[in-house]
Structure 1
């Protein structure tokens, strides 16, 4: 079985290009186990054989803690699992019929097209493909997309993460920081 593990270590240091010791130490532990981690200041992810990944992540988290991490948040997913969308409910007119299925597919396409348009607009505004932007501009892109409602769409974080060249977990961390900052009272 293959698994994918994504974890964040705190404190966050996401505003500059220097990764904190708890991030680099955990990544090195993963590399020592023969894995290729995808890392950033707000999240690290790795995928591979379950036995290898689970053992390596255990060592990596101990390294993170011994190098200054004060908190770790982790998710583990079966990388081989096929993700499927739930079927539309039968309460709407035409559901269950060919027309209902076409309507549902059309709605999904409309949402996907809407998200694509939002991403294209932000790319145009920021001057290039999101994946090529420096970290601070990627964070700004997430802020712009959040302000424009992009993350209200189902599975949008995955699409945005792909466009940014980041993990979904990192996009969620950027969103959490943006939302936390917005919730803070102003003086």
Structure 2
């Protein structure tokens, strides 16, 4: 079963290791070329299939999801795994980038953070109070 990783993949084509950071950033995975499925993108090395790239479904590539991934990259970890202070910082960064102007954004951010919508609203209200 293919998995994403933040470190080098073992016993796979060197091309898979080379593209691992890119795939992690866009939410894709590398799978052995012989395990490809319809919709996967096959990458070739010296004329032979080397690795297949499986990109996330369209629901994961919305603008809000891209902003969330960028904030995760900036903070150095998945949002649910961050301590509370970093989650609050993530909400601040998301707000600065316009994430909360999108439809159902609080719901999506709450799910990404692993907290309730109420908690996200509290973080937003605290941020607005701090600015006043």
Shorter-chain TM band: 0.5 to 0.7
2:85 aligned with 1:136, yes or no?
A: yes
Q: What is the Cα deviation at residue 181 of structure 1?
A: 1.3
Residue number in structure 2 paired with 1:176? 125
Residue number in structure 1 paired with 2:94? 145
Residue number in structure 1 paired with 2:106? 157
* 1:67-104: CA deviation from partner (whole Å, max 9, x where unpaired): xxxxxxxxxxxxxxxxxxxxxxxxxxxxxxxxxxxxxx
| Larger gyration radius, structure 1 or structure 2 | 1
Number of positions where the alignment pairs a residue of Structure 1 with one of Structure 2: 74
Residue number in structure 1 paired with 2:70? 121
Q: What is the Cα deviation at residue 134 of structure 1?
A: 0.4
* 1:167 alignment partner, one of 110, 116, 124: 116
Q: What is the Cα deviation at residue 165 of structure 1?
A: 0.4
Using the alignment, how far apart are the partners of 1:177 and 1:151 within structure 2?
A: 15
Using the alignment, how far apart are the partners of 2:71 and 2:116 within structure 1?
A: 19
Which residues in structure 2 correspond to 1:20-59 (within 5 Å)? none
Consecutive unaligned residues of structure 2, counting only runs of 5 or more, are 1-57
Q: Secondary structure at the match of 2:62?
A: helix
Q: What is the Cα deviation at residue 179 of structure 1?
A: 1.1
| Larger relative contact order (Cα-Cα within 8 Å, sequence gap ≥ 6) | 1
Using the alignment, how far apart are the partners of 2:76 and 2:100 within structure 1?
A: 22
Q: Secondary structure at the match of 2:115?
A: coil
- TM-score normalised by the chain length of structure 2: 0.54
Using the alignment, how far apart are the partners of 1:144 and 1:114 within structure 2?
A: 15
Using the alignment, how far apart are the partners of 2:106 and 2:68 within structure 1?
A: 12
Q: What is the Cα deviation at residue 169 of structure 1?
A: 0.5
Q: Secondary structure at the match of 2:103?
A: coil
